[in-house]
Amino acid sequence: MISLALGLLVVAGCGDKDTTSDDTGSGSDDTGGDTNLNSLTWGASAITAPDTSNWLGAYVADEDNIWILAGGGVTYFDGASWTLSAQQDQFGFDPNAPDMTIFFDPWAISGSSTTDVYVVCGNSMIASFDGTSWTQLSNGYGPEDLNTYQPLLSPGSMWASGSGAAYHLSRGGDYNFVTWDGSTRTTTALDTMVGNLDYAPHIVWGLDDNDIWVGGALTSLFNSPIHHWDGSSWSRATIEAGDEGRVVGFWGTAADDMWMAVTGNQYGSKLYRSASNGGWELADTRPVDGTDNPVYYDIWGTSNSNIFVGGNQGLFRYNGTDWTEIDLGADAAGLAVLRIHGITASKLVVEVGNSTEKAFYLVEGL
């Protein structure tokens, strides 16, 4: 175990959405309890933030630029204090509309820089932040269409490529892959693109606009829940039969050099690597043995000798040969590492938490 320089941004009284959502990827409508951000510290400096509720996710550009979705809006941290970046009415909605408030809330967030941040709201309206202000990019759908076009409420269900494009998943009669290409939104049913869809997708990640992965749940009934876009067509990947679980993260350097983290059920969590046949095979290494019942939540890296995996047993780093646990300190004891926000090869911001609290840790000096 290694100990490093750490900064701690504590979020007390969380009551956030269940990060370990069910394998159906259906997206729960449970709004959870209140999130109170009045008590926060980053390193040794106390800061304050407005009251928020219903924590739904975060985009971290670096330790001085963090956006969180909570309380029906977007709250921004600049390294010293929190400010309310956008509210429902700034997205063009009436927050007092009866029985519809939740559909006006931003449900998913992603970004590629401090001037390229995106949210999708509960009615599938997409908005972006350019470093100065928020702009509505696409219209939302009315109540009569929400059962068809409602975005997934799942960590990792939105991804921004950095080219001005953003992608997210939605659900209804079909599971949809939604593309915002910088000027136009396109919604296409996934089973139309890849044939019969016998799983629930819930995560999207890519290397660029021509190299995008969508993942879902593995069960004994269907074991090919991974699809790849190569810029012209979709293909369906194969994976070893009999393994059950849920894809929680992708990371890689190229389409044929990918890693995938799968949170398992009775089979335990596992890591997979892209195989020479275009499918996936079990990696010959993982941070915690399956007999210890690990649960993985995220994977990120900068090279095959600098990979990080987070889960219920902490944060681990792979140097190409061995795994080492990164000690987050006594305050993180009992908290799972839920998301890994990579900044540089030697600096991370990680989200940790449980059902009652959440915190960001700044990990430096790797």
Q: Per mean pLDDT, which range of 27-31, 140-144, 291-295 is the poorest?
A: 27-31
Model pLDDT for residues 18-70, shown as the tens digit of each residue:
333 333 222 233 323 233 333 334 443 323 334 445 677 889 999 899 998 87
Q: How confident is the model at residue 219 (pLDDT cuts 50, 70, 90)?
A: low
What's the pLDDT band for 328 if we cut at 50, 70, 90? confident
Pairing of strands 2-3, 323-327: parallel
Contacts of 244 (CB under 8 A, 6+ apart): 218, 219, 220, 264, 265, 266, 267
Mean pLDDT value across the chain? 75
Question: What domains, with CATH codes, occur in the chain?
Answer: 2-333+351-364 (2.130.10.10)
**Sign of the C-alpha dihedral computed for residues 78, 82, 84 and 86 taken in this order:** positive
CA distance 6 to 199: 40
Parallel, antiparallel, or unpaired for β 358-364 and 347-353?
antiparallel
pLDDT tens per residue across span 161-202: 999 999 999 876 677 889 999 999 888 777 655 444 456 788
